[in-house]
Amino acid sequence: ALLAALKIANNLPPNIRRYCNTALKTISAKTGAQAPVERSGGLDAVFTKLQNALTRRRKVGIRYNSLAERKIIELELSPYHLFYNQRAWYVLGHSSMHKSIRTFKLNRIRALQISDKRFIDGDSFDPHEYFGRAWSMIPEGRIYNIKLKFLPKVAHNVSEVRWHSTQAVTRNNDGSATLEFRVDGLGEITWWILGYGDQVQVLAPRALRKRVLQIAKNMIKVNEKV
C-alpha cells in the first residue's frame, strides 16, 4: 500500500506532492508472516486523527489503557511517527508524562483530541535510528551478541528467513543451523526463541540462556497445577 501511494504521489502536482511526501515520511510498516488484521471503525478514526496531527505538527491529548501502569492514563503526546508491526499499529512520540519518547498501541487509545499546540522537536526524528538494533521495536540500550543453534527439524525454515539486519547463518553438517545476531536488548528475542520450544539451543549469551530456562521452568510449574 505504501509503495502504491508513492507511485501515485510521483504523478501529482508539485504542491500536493510535497504534502503527500510529508505525510508518507511519518508512516512505516514492518510486515510479518500473516496478513494485517482489518482496522475497526474506532481504530480508523484514531489513525486518521494521528495522521492529521503528524502532518500539521500538532500535539494530541490521549487517554490510554496502559499495560505497564495497569490503569487508564492521560497525557499529552507529540506524535512523531506511525508504525505498523506484528499485526498492530503504533504511534511513536514524546510523552508529557514520561518525559521521553514512548510507543503507544493505537487500539489501547481510549480517547484522542488534537490540540492547537504545535511541536517542532520531532522534525529530526528518525524511526530507523530510534529502533536501532532492537529485535523488533523495543531497544533496551545494550547490545548483545546472540548465538543460537536450531536443530535439524526447524533449521531450514528458520535460516531461510531474514530475521534481523545483523543476521549470520552457519549450516552445520548434522543438519542444524547456527544463527548469530547483534541485538539491542534481550526481552523481545527471548519470546521469539521460546516459540521454537525444544528445537533451539541458546549458546550465547549466558544471560539469555538463563532467562529462557527460567521461563521454561515457570511454564512447567504453571501447567503442572492444571
- Would you state the torsion angle of the CA atoms of residues 162, 164, 170, 173, taken in this order, to the nearest 10 degrees? -60
Residue 89: count of CB within 10 angstroms of its CB: 22
Architecture of domain 2-125: Roll (2.30)
pLDDT in tens, 124-183: 888 888 888 999 988 898 999 999 999 999 999 999 999 999 999 999 999 999 999 999
The fold adopted by the segment(s) 143-224 is Alpha-Beta Plaits (3.30.70)
Taking a C-beta distance cutoff of 8 angstroms, is the pair 148, 193 a contact?
A: yes
Q: How far apart (Å, rounded) are the C-alpha atoms in residues 159 and 179?
A: 7
Q: Which range, 8-12, 44-48, 118-122, is most confident?
A: 44-48
**Looking at the whole model, is its pTM more than 0.75?**
no
Residue 80, C-alpha cell as written in the block: 512523531
Q: Cell 510479518 maps to which residue?
A: 32
Return residue ranges of the chain for CATH 2.30.30: 2-125
**Closest by Cα among 203, 205, 194, 204 to 176:** 203
Return residue ranges of the chain for CATH 3.30.70: 143-224
DSSP summary character for residue 124: T
pLDDT at 187 over 90: yes
Alpha helix locations (H) across the chain?
A: 2-9, 14-25, 41-56, 127-131, 152-159, 187-194, 206-224
